[in-house]
Amino acid sequence: GILVLDFGSQYNQLIGRRIREMEVYSEIVPFDTPLETILSKKPAGIVLSGGPSSVNSPDAHLVDPALFELGIPILGICYGMQLTAHILGGKVVKGSKGEYGKSEFEIVRSNPLFTGVSRHSQVWMSHFDEVETVPEGFEISGRSGVIAAMANEKKKIFCIQFHPEVTHTAEGWKMLENFVENICRAEKNWKLTGYIERTIEEIRTKVGSDKVILGLSGGVDSSVAAVLIHKAIGDQLQCIFVDTGLLRLDEGRKVMENYGEHFHMKIDMVDAADRFLDKLKGVSDPEEKRKIIGKEFVAVFDEEAHKFEGARFLAQGTIYPDVIESQSVKGPSAVIKSHHNVGGLPEEMKMELLEPLRELFKDEVRKVGEELGIAHHLVYRHPFPGPGLGIRILGEVDREKVAILQKADDIFIEELYKNKLYETVSQAFVVLLPVKSVGVMGDERTYEYTCVVRSANTIDFMTATFSKLPWDFLEKVSNRIINEVQGINRVAYDISSKPPATIEWE
């Protein structure tokens, strides 16, 4: 396959996905992965990704120069191009203003990376530094005002300053395809049906006649993992579904219907709403709420799991981006909120992990889910945070507020589906503010809560913009919430982007 060395760009996962869309296996590893490890993976090609660092800074992310002497084709993208220039003796300087966004690219000397690519095309740039002098043995192959491409054909090293993996680079797909298929001649052996069959076999071999426990949340990852494992070992799988009382309207019933009745999986549903709400009484600090919910979740899950004695494995819906993030070079985008991964392994449980989706990107997980017979709308659900409505009810949480928010949220989501907007946005929900305002209904003055409708569009959830939902649609949602939900008399729409706001309100 193709190995992507990760220098921290937010587009890196996209490079990996694009390559897999060509049915070629791709793996993303940290930039400082030792050379022997790289070689042991026998890559057909190596991509040096973009990243926020500068090659001239004292703590620059560098690689062993021997990487360029392996005879393995290399594609340097953005920072990867600057790095190549820097290490091989070229010169990289701080540009006068940087270049962000769409730019016009001109091929000045064609090479195999540009086979079938127009001489002039639109590309997506995002850089401050630029290559001023190319290293010996390299030729300038493209320009966009700056040196936008260089190559050493003999050594099969190709570099571009722009990002071929994003759709704004009109012919980026073609360039990646040229690299992967023609320059690297990578084997096309990455197919999802094959993956499913292989994984089912692996699960059977690994588990044998033992029992497996899985925390089912109703979200995409744990659901697909559950169905896949169930397909492999049937009733040896025991799912535990914890109703924290902070889930969406009717979530528990739906999970039992979808996975218990439809797939005949063994699911133990725990109604722990009282426990969670009790622990949250009087607490309004967001971080404190997260910690309480996370801790309580582990406690409840642990108690339930102990009822199934002799289980040897704990299954989790860990997916490839989780793996990449846990190994990745953390840029300035460090943890801003303690993203408590609710559903995590209680440490004292000492069970072996079973993570059948560890190698898959989200879109691959969805395809596997559909292939396994899970309904489309279930595998295309938006993400839902572990602490749930606990962090969408600002301030103190109580049962009454949960009921109000569930109804409002349900109306918004239902309307998104009805108007075919659900899949055009990345995450949508309603937030309940601890603020009451005055309104009028009929001849009556009202004094009730305000809720906020939030919808965000994003690729990686690190940056996001608010969704530009149609006015008529928002009007309808607002009318329905105010008319149908007792306790809310005002609806606001969140028009903040991330950063500086976050997607959630707490």
Known binding-site residues equal 217-223
Shortest Cβ 343–ligand XMP spacing (Å): 8
Q: Which is nearer to ligand XMP, 10 or 502 (CB)?
A: 502
Residue 122 · residue 142 · CB < 8 Å? no
For residue 85, the cross-strand partners are: none
Shortest Cβ 362–ligand XMP spacing (Å): 12
Shortest Cβ 423–ligand XMP spacing (Å): 16
Dist. CA 282–CA 295, nearest whole Å = 17
Q: Which is nearer to ligand XMP, 129 or 243 (CB)?
A: 243
Q: Which is nearer to ligand XMP, 78 or 220 (CB)?
A: 220
159 is catalytic: no
Q: Which 3-state string (H, E, C) describes 10-40? A: CCHHHHHHHHHHCCCCEEEEECCCCHHHHHH
Shortest Cβ 432–ligand XMP spacing (Å): 16
Considering 130, 165, 415, 506, which one is annotated as catalytic? 165
Dist. CA 332–CA 143, nearest whole Å = 30
Q: Which is nearer to ligand XMP, 73 or 245 (CB)?
A: 245
Longest pairwise C-alpha distance within the chain: 83
For residue 432, the cross-strand partners are: 393, 451
Considering 61, 127, 163, 340, which one is annotated as catalytic? 163
Q: Which is nearer to ligand XMP, 81 or 292 (CB)?
A: 292
Shortest Cβ 321–ligand XMP spacing (Å): 12
For residue 441, the cross-strand partners are: 444
163 is catalytic: yes
SS3 of residue 367 by DSSP: helix
Site residues (vs ligand XMP, CB under 6 A): 290, 337, 339-342, 383, 385-387, 427, 461, 498, 502-504
**Cβ-count burial 69-99 (b if 16+ within 10 Å, e if not):** eeebbbbbbbbbbbbbbbbbebebeeeeeeb
Dist. CA 25–CA 38, nearest whole Å = 15
Angstrom CA distances, 193 to 258, 315, 499, stand at: 23, 21, 39
Considering 61, 78, 184, 251, which one is annotated as catalytic? 78
340 is catalytic: no
Shortest Cβ 143–ligand XMP spacing (Å): 38
Q: What is the DSSP string of 119-155?
A: SEEEEEEEEEEEEEEPPTT-EEEEESSSEEEEEETTT
Query: What residue numbers does the annotated binding site for ATP cover?
Result: 217-223
Residue 98 · residue 127 · CB < 8 Å? yes
| Residue whose tokens read 């292939």 | 371
Q: Which residues contact 377 (CB under 8 A, 6 or more apart)?
A: 417
Residues taking part in catalysis: 78, 163, 165
